[in-house]
Amino acid sequence: MSRYPRSRAVSVLALTATGALALAACSSSDTPGGGEDAPQELVVGVTTDVDTLVPWTATQFQAVNVLQNLYGSLTEFDSDLAVVPGLAEEWETSEDGLTVTFHLRDDVTFTDGSEFDAEDVVASYTTIMDEETAAVSAANLASVENIEATDERTVTFTLSAPDASLPSKLAPVTLAILPSDVDLDALESEPVGTGPFALDARTPNESLVLASNPDYWRGAPELDTVEFRVIPDQSAIVSALQAGNVHMSVFDDPLVADTIGGSVTVTETPQLGYHVLQMNARTAPLDDRDVRLAIACAIDRQEVLDTAALGAGEVTGPITSPAFRSDPSARPCPEGDPATAREYLAAAGYEDGLTLSAIVMQDGYATAVAEAENIQAQLAEVGITLEIEALESGSYVDRWIAADFELAVALNGGQPDPDAMYGRYFPSHGNLNTVAGYSSDTLDDLFAQGQAELDPDARVAIYDEISRELENQAAWVWMFTSYNYTATAEGVSGFTPMPNNSLQYLRDTTIQ
């Protein structure tokens, strides 16, 4: 029986810029910087408000970033994306890999004052696995047959097959632990978590304020409050940073990041999240592999990257997890190949072309519309007319979750482990398989092998096969990974940007 040691890590709103500036323009006396005894009140500029405060159903990046500071999970990722203890201080796996036992911390309370214990873990995961919950990460628990509270501080998982990635799959905030008697509807106004902060105040579409949790098990954060201030225009956020009204923001537009200057520090961080053209292969004509291959071959990924993101990124294959990264040249058309694309269209019976539609989020991230327009231009060259439907983030997420699209220009989050990354999408039992729009017996078998395999090198080989299968079937068109640019004003220290876009290190941040 192998034991995990306690101290060791296993590795939009259509507002003008003027209106946004007016929103940001509080006086300097309203923000920190007034001396050593001044309150530590950090203001973070964001372009959108959160769309939910329920962690199990959150898909929006901004919501996830806020929720990571309100809730805790059994395991966590450190700054290097290694799995480390969270609410569980250690765990052990049986020799056959079918039993995993988690030992919980005894110094944790929820923000409503109730004590955290094993029953909360069992109740949380049981609810997540219930289809009626519509939890976005339910597939992370697909290998779990039973969860039992052995005692108040011990939880035992019985698995249907060994699951090498289970500790990693328990780390996202979408697997957060809530009180066993939680009212999910009430969480939208009164979140109850074990995180470093608690909800203090909220004005929809304007501001959300978190206050330091004095009972946080790691110790209360130095920051008294963190305000997420909604300023829909990124250039307006830059102006607010330069004026001292905002102290931190994360940008995804390299052009905007280049304009910051002054005393503001900008840190560039490669991201695991991937830009992709999703195709709903359960709708005609996308149910024809030749049509999907025609689209995949028509698109020059480097051109999309250069046009939409000024080349600030890297062309990618399906898997961006560092130890399992796909080779983007191992695809039917590594570069744009219009001639081959036309051949595939002709083979599918569309030598005269066809018309498709794509949804795109107009306010969620900077490059989305530009990506869609470049894809539209490239597809037109081979006879495919692409009609673009630009949606505000809430409408886009609703349509995306319902798989109410033919094509979707998307930015999806990556994970350190590929099973956590795609196990909910492409296996037929995945809870987001409807969104993925594609599954097959081959992929079901390969994902089952990858989940059960405990040898690291053998797992890499299996996920190489999965990557090739996804590319050869043109399930989606994977385009590129990009960078985030974390801007911090003078006096802000202790924050560590992460490749998974997490803001969890606000708990270690200070401002002078």
Q: pLDDT (tens digit, 9 = 90+) per residue, 74-109?
A: 999 999 999 999 999 999 999 999 999 999 999 999
Retrieve residue 180's tokens.
Answer: 């066993």
Beta strands 88-93; 99-104: pairing state:
antiparallel
Among 3.40.50.300, 3.90.1150.10, 3.90.76.10, 2.60.120.960, name the CATH number for the domain at 72-185: 3.90.76.10
Per-residue pLDDT, 28: 37
Overall average pLDDT of the 432-451 stretch: 97
Q: With respect to CATH, is domain 272-482 assigned 3.40.50.720? A: no
Confidence at residue 175, expressed as pLDDT on a 0 to 100 scale: 97
What digits encode the pLDDT tens for the residues 169-208?
A: 999 999 999 999 999 999 999 999 999 999 999 999 999 9
So what's the pLDDT on residue 125? 98
| CA–CA dist 146, 125 (Å, integer) | 10
pLDDT band at 45 (very low <50, low <70, confident <90, very high): very high
How far is residue 211's CA from residue 141's CA, in Å, rounded to a whole number?
32
CATH 3.10.105.10 residue spans of the chain: 272-482
| Mean pLDDT, range 48-65, rounded to an integer | 94
CATH label, 17-70+187-269+484-511, candidates 3.30.70.270, 3.40.190.10, 2.60.120.200, 3.10.20.740: 3.40.190.10
Q: Give the residue-averaged pLDDT of 49-55.
A: 96
Band (307; pLDDT cuts 50, 70, 90): very high
Chain-centre distance of CA 2, in angstroms? 31
Q: Where are the beta strands (DSSP E) in 152-264?
A: 154-159, 197-203, 207-212, 225-230, 248-251
* Residues 417, 82 contacting (CB under 8 angstroms): no
CA 415 – CA 454 distance, rounded (Å) = 18
Cα gap 58→68, rounded to integer Å: 11
pTM beyond cutoff 0.75: yes
Q: In terms of C-beta density within 10 A (0-12 exposed, 13-18 middle, 19 or more buried), how is residue 474 classed?
A: buried
- pLDDT tens-digit series, residues 385-410: 999 999 998 899 999 999 999 999 99
- Report the alpha-carbon distance of residue 205 to residue 20 in Å, rounded: 11
pLDDT digits (tens, 9 = 90+) for 340-369: 999 999 999 999 999 999 999 998 888 999
**Inter-residue contact 234 to 256 (CB < 8 Å):** yes
- Report residue 38's pLDDT band, with 50, 70 and 90 as the boundaries: confident
Pair 358, 408: CB distance under 8 Å: yes
> Where along the chain do the CATH 3.90.76.10 domains lie?
72-185
